[in-house]
Chains A and B, each alone.
Chain A
């Protein structure tokens, strides 16, 4: 019963969407944005105030990300760069492992973490997991001193882009494993910068939506990094089928 209700509701919602879409008649052929977005669009085209508010919202969002990725200067001066890096990672809800230890320090879902890492002064980090965090180019400042970093996981980070990848050259001597799967802003232009990481042994590139021809890119990357194992799943390599569909459409 509940399921049928839900489907009915979805049907109604869709039909409303279609109606509004027809009225606004946008020229783009891609799937239309949700209803509230389109109402906002309609209003911003008529009212400067709303445009202003929306741009403020965007600015606030960016400022928040910038604040989270700020340089931990104070911590660095008090405790040294290793503790500062550890603190930065934990406050972004990431996880890490010190050199010569087997257990990981991680922040939980609500951002709470164990402060015991303060006891490990001057111990560099060996593995860092920043998956699903808002780490960006600026935040790399905090990790720059980690010269023995071997594993870096950046799975599904919305702010990791090509410039971030270009800056990974700071770990060029030590980094062996890199996971950049599911990052929406990475494109082929950024992957070319991975050539500086000559010690890379394992690279995960699964499901990057910004890459246009993944098959070719993976081959070129394998050529560029011969001793690196490249994992690229989640792509549709079936070129033949795609061409067939196009023909049917014509």
Chain B
């Protein structure tokens, strides 16, 4: 500003010099060479200047006034355009596939245009560390809990008709690059009976799964070593893998076209009111209600308090940490408010291996009873593989570095034992991703928190969040807008089971 003013003065001075010389020539014959005449004469052209400037200034003023009229985005203060709005109805924390799915379903279910104002807060818009895009991207129905099978079936149905749901007018249709190859679970002698029970549950719910004996398995997949396999189950339909990034982007594109606001920032604090109540037993219960969410901008100290009615915690691996900000786990353990959200990040490695002699196009998503899995990646003889480590040697979750020794020690031996063709392979690349691991019972938490009465959870899916996101998002949207579940009854996956300490465990064969 001051520099501009200096420039202005300089110009005026120069102007004055120029005019004064001309005027002195005119007036010297009247007044003689006097300093006074010089000063007076310089005033006149200056006044001319003023009127000339006035016109320009009036035009600028008119423009500014027009800008300040309602309906324009102008404001007298310098505002960071990336800041979220001050008020919203629903703030979704976590812009992964779950968060965007909830946002989409909320908008889909609203009765009038702009009926609910939804903000999705995401920390990293490049998604460089997001669980969504670093996952293996599989979908299966081979669970043991009916809730999980239902969620997965509904999600498969969503993906089948994805362009009806997520197609945006005048844009390219969504291509998930879905690979229709079933999951193949292999069970050993000890767990074969669990697999049989799971199979009957799955058939009952409506999943197309078949059981294979070792002989049938060998006939169907001749490249498998069936030693130690007592039973196998193979998904015929609605199973396979897809590109997680395409699904995330499709959700995001559709939700934003419907008016969801995306905001890059991190939620660092909540403002909440506390009220005391007594339970029927006479114990005091502290109720909390979130009034606003503090969204910190990624660079600098700028932040915005977003006033909101409902907060959805879809922060995946970090949702436990987010809930701690509300003081959930600082209370004594045995009270209701002291029940922590049992979700923590776990690190999993995925290795890309190249093996030209591998099983080729008929590779299923194979999951061995030892915890090893692999699937095909593309058509060029690449496979991706990994394994879940033992509970005792969980890797450190502070970074996303890959432990290549783990492949040598735990993955490759099992892989080569199951499929002898993989004895000759080359690891071409590897990455690590976070898993939103539910330490309580390894199943998703869908529903509201008992004592924070406007925070909803959609987290803790422990690795099957991506495949269940379309149906889980719909369930959360129903819970928020309709008050209860309409299409799929997900009450079993609510917070109540954690309070009552009744885990609903997936009866895995691993």
Contact = CB atoms under 8 A, between A and B. Distances in A.
A189 B170 contact: no
The B interface, classified by DSSP as helix, strand, loop or mixed, is loop
Interface in A215-239: 216-217, 220-221, 223-224
B178 A162 contact: yes
A192 B181 contact: yes
B361 A189 contact: no
A55 B168 CA distance: 9
A203 to B, nearest CB: 13
A107 interface: no
B182 to A, nearest CB: 8
Contact of A224 (B238, B240, B360, B380): B360
A169 B164 contact: no
A192 B160 contact: no
A223 B237 contact: no
Given A195-B361, A217-B379, A220-B360, A51 B169 contact: yes
A166 B180 CA distance: 6
Contacts of A196: 236
A223 B361 CA distance: 8
Contacts of A41: 170
B180 A165 contact: yes
Interface string A66-106: 00000000000000000000000000000000000000000
Interface string B321-338: 000000000000000000
A193 B361 contact: no
B178 A191 contact: no
B113 A48 contact: yes
A169 B236 contact: yes
Nearest to B176: A189
A205 to B, nearest CB: 13
Contact of A223 (B175, B179, B208, B360): B360
A186 to B, nearest CB: 11
Chain A CB within 10 A, most for which of B170, B180, B208, B379: B180
B46 to A, nearest CB: 48
B177 interface: yes
Interface in B156-214: 160, 164, 169-170, 175, 177-181, 208
Given A169-B236, A189-B179, A196-B236, A216 B379 contact: yes
Nearest to A196: B236
A190 interface: yes
Interface string A133-169: 0000100000000000000000000000011011101
A213 interface: yes
B393 interface: no
B362 interface: yes
Interface string B130-170: 00000000000000000000000000000010001000011
A188 interface: yes
B23 to A, nearest CB: 55
Given A162-B180, A189-B180, A216-B379, A224 B361 contact: yes
A190 B164 CA distance: 19
Contact of A189 (B160, B164, B178, B220): B178
Classify chain B's interface size.
20 to 34
Interface in A4-35: none
A192 B361 CA distance: 6
A54 interface: yes
Contact of B180 (A193, A213, A221): A193
A189 B362 contact: no
The A interface, classified by DSSP as helix, strand, loop or mixed, is helix
A107 B191 CA distance: 54
A174 interface: no
A247 to B, nearest CB: 23
A82 to B, nearest CB: 23
Given A189-B177, A216-B379, A167 B361 contact: no
Given A192-B361, A195-B361, A44 B208 contact: no
A166 B237 contact: yes
Contacts of A221: 361
Contacts of B361: 191-192, 195, 217, 220-221, 223-224
B240 A189 contact: yes
Contacts of B240: 166, 189, 192-193
A54 B169 contact: yes
B465 to A, nearest CB: 22
Contacts of A162: 178, 180
Contacts of A224: 360-362
Contacts of B362: 192, 195, 224
Nearest to B221: A195
A192 B179 CA distance: 7
Chain B CB within 10 A, most for which of A45, A192, A213: A192
Contacts of A217: 361, 379
A190 B179 CA distance: 6
Contacts of B238: 166
A206 B471 CA distance: 37
B379 A163 contact: no
A99 to B, nearest CB: 25
7 contacts: A54-B169, A163-B160, A189-B179, A189-B180, A189-B240, A192-B180, A193-B240
Given A165-B180, A187-B175, 9 more contacts: A48-B113, A62-B164, A162-B178, A163-B160, A167-B237, A169-B208, A191-B361, A217-B379, A224-B362
Report, nearest first, the 10 A-B pairs whose CB atoms are least far apart.
A193-B180, A166-B180, A220-B361, A189-B179, A195-B362, A224-B362, A169-B236, A163-B160, A224-B361, A192-B181
